[in-house]
């Protein structure tokens, strides 16, 4: 037997398939947990469960496809993905479709595409690709160019209007900049500048409903039957779960339909009510396992591009998780962000799974090169 054949035989099947088993296991358990909660939150609707199962299957297929793509290929196509994403964002105000008061979707006949959802992944890819060509930490000039790559799509998304998504996408690009080594002095300056711009944001840029969300966050009891209803019912559901919950399918806030959006943005409240603190700790454990695995993959990456991208993807996932939990718990304003891998819906899940497929590609291609 040749030395090459002997080496290939020692490579685990999962790595030849470019699959990271620990990460895949965490994602599978989290999505399974999500299906259980969706079945309860959806009023035991088997059709809803079936639709979500199909979406989960599609998302895992996307993960597998993304994992097969070598990182250097991703870097090559990143610029063109960014250009396509920008063109789609420019097109939204002219030919975009409006749903629930926001013009965010493009209709391509067989499919509706939300360009802002794509940019959640494309922006960190673009910033990582740009900074990887420079000596790190980046110079002020390169930091300014990277910031411009973030700001232009963020402003286009904010005009849809989708302030919550635009801020989250801005954070995705910022994480890559942070990992590239920008100084704390610059970070402090950005924080102070953002604080100084808050009055401008409040009086001239924010829509009335966005202002109302902030006011509701500060005092939800001021309008308990109107804008404060969601968060009040959500906190009741979370608090009534106690240590071990009321049992699967036995939640009162969700089953009696007191809790709005219970299968999407507020699904965490359903989980806390039915599974209690124990269920919440299990959920947090799954998220932390996935996050730490992602950070480990980032630490083991061999190139600047893959290291920045892997770290950025992991921190974005952490941010989405914490923002949703904080929103449902009343610690943050409501921004309409689903709980990753758990909430009902397909677009966000496909984007997240594509990102984790890229993580697996970064890790397994590195291992194969080392062999």
* Band of residue 196 on the pLDDT scale cut at 50, 70, 90: confident
Res. 6: pLDDT tops 50: no
Rounded Cα distance, 301 and 355, in Å: 15
74 compared with 9, residue with greater pLDDT: 74
DSSP letter string over 218-286? H-GGGSTTTTTHHHHHHHHHHHHTTTT-S-TT--HHHHTT-STTTTTTTHHHHHHHHHHHHHHHHHHHH
Confidence (pLDDT) at 236: 87
Mean predicted confidence (pLDDT) in 181-194: 81
- Other C-beta atoms closer than 10 Å to the C-beta of 131 total 26
Confidence (pLDDT) at 371: 43
The residue with tokens 């597998």 is 64
Residue 164's contacts (CB-CB under 8 Å, 6 or more residues apart) are 335, 336, 337
Rounded Cα distance, 366 and 303, in Å: 9
Closest of 265, 261, 267 to residue 283, by C-alpha: 267
Point out the least confidently predicted range of 49-58, 115-124, 215-224, 320-329.
Answer: 215-224
Return mean pLDDT, the chain: 85
Confidence (pLDDT) at 101: 63
Handedness of CA 18, 354, 319, 40 (dihedral sign): negative
Q: Give the phi and the psi of residue 12 in degrees, each rounded to 5.
A: -60, 150
- Other C-beta atoms closer than 10 Å to the C-beta of 76 total 11
Whole-structure pTM value: 0.88
Residues 330-365: tens digit of each pLDDT: 888 887 788 999 998 877 889 999 999 999 999 988
pLDDT > 90: percent of the chain: 42
Structure tokens at 231: 């968060």
Residue 97's contacts (CB-CB under 8 Å, 6 or more residues apart) are 103, 105, 106, 107, 112
Confidence (pLDDT) at 22: 94
Mean predicted confidence (pLDDT) in 288-292: 96
Residues 23-50: tens digit of each pLDDT: 999 999 999 999 999 998 888 889 989 9
Res. 367: pLDDT tops 60: no
Rounded Cα distance, 123 and 170, in Å: 9
Strands 102-107 and 97-99: antiparallel
Q: Give residue 221's Cα distance to chain centre.
A: 30
Structure tokens at 171: 């954070």
165 compared with 303, residue with greater pLDDT: 303
**Contact predicate 246/274, CB 8 Å:** yes
Rounded Cα distance, 194 and 173, in Å: 16
Point out the least confidently predicted range of 32-41, 87-96, 211-220, 301-310.
Answer: 211-220
Mean predicted confidence (pLDDT) in 10-17: 78
Look up the domain containing 189 and give its range.
3-370
pLDDT > 70: percent of the chain: 94
Report how many domains make up the chain.
1
Confidence (pLDDT) at 125: 94
Closest of 335, 330, 337, 336 to residue 218, by C-alpha: 330
**Contact predicate 56/93, CB 8 Å:** no
192 compared with 275, residue with greater pLDDT: 275
Given phi > 0 = left and psi -120 to 50 = alpha, else beta, which region is 334? beta
Point out the least confidently predicted range of 111-120, 125-134, 171-180.
Answer: 111-120
- Other C-beta atoms closer than 10 Å to the C-beta of 331 total 11
* Band of residue 271 on the pLDDT scale cut at 50, 70, 90: very high
**Contact predicate 85/153, CB 8 Å:** yes
Mean predicted confidence (pLDDT) in 42-60: 90
Mean predicted confidence (pLDDT) in 6-17: 68
């Amino acid at each position: 037997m040749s030395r090459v054949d002997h080496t290939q035989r020692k490579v685990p099947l999962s790595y030849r398939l470019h699959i990271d088993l620990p990460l895949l296991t965490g994602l599978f358990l989290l999505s399974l947990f999500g299906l259980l909660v969706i079945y309860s939150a959806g009023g035991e609707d088997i059709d809803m469960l079936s639709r979500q199962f199909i979406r989960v299957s599609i998302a895992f297929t996307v993960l597998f496809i993304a994992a097969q793509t070598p990182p250097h290929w991703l870097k090559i196509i990143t610029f063109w993905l960014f250009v396509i994403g920008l063109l789609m964002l420019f097109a939204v105000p002219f030919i975009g479709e409006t749903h629930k008061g926001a013009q965010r979707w493009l209709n391509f006949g067989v499919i509706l595409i939300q360009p802002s959802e794509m940019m959640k992944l494309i922006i960190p890819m673009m910033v990582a690709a740009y900074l990887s060509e420079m000596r790190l930490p980046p110079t002020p000039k390169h930091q300014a160019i990277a910031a411009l790559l973030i700001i232009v799509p963020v402003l286009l998304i904010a005009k849809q209007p989708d302030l919550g998504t635009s801020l989250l996408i801005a954070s995705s690009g910022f994480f890559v900049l942070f990992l590239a080594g920008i100084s704390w002095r610059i970070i402090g300056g950005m924080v102070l500048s953002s604080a100084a711009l808050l009055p401008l944001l409040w009086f001239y840029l924010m829509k009335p409903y966005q202002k109302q969300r902030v006011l509701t966050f500060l005092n939800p009891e001021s309008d308990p039957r109107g804008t404060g209803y969601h968060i009040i019912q959500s906190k009741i559901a979370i608090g009534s779960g106690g240590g071990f919950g009321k049992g699967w399918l036995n939640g009162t806030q969700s089953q009696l339909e007191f809790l709005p959006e219970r299968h999407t943005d507020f699904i965490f409240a359903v989980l806390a009510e039915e599974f209690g603190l124990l269920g919440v700790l299990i959920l947090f454990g799954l998220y932390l396992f996935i996050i730490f695995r992602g950070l480990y993959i980032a630490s083991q990456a061999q190139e600047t591009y893959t290291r920045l991208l892997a770290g950025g993807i992991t921190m974005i996932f952490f941010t989405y998780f914490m923002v949703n939990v904080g929103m449902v718990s009343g610690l943050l304003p409501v921004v309409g962000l689903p709980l990753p891998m758990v909430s009902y819906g397909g677009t966000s899940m496909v984007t997240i799974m594509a990102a984790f497929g890229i993580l697996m590609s970064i890790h397994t291609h590195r291992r194969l090169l080392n062999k």
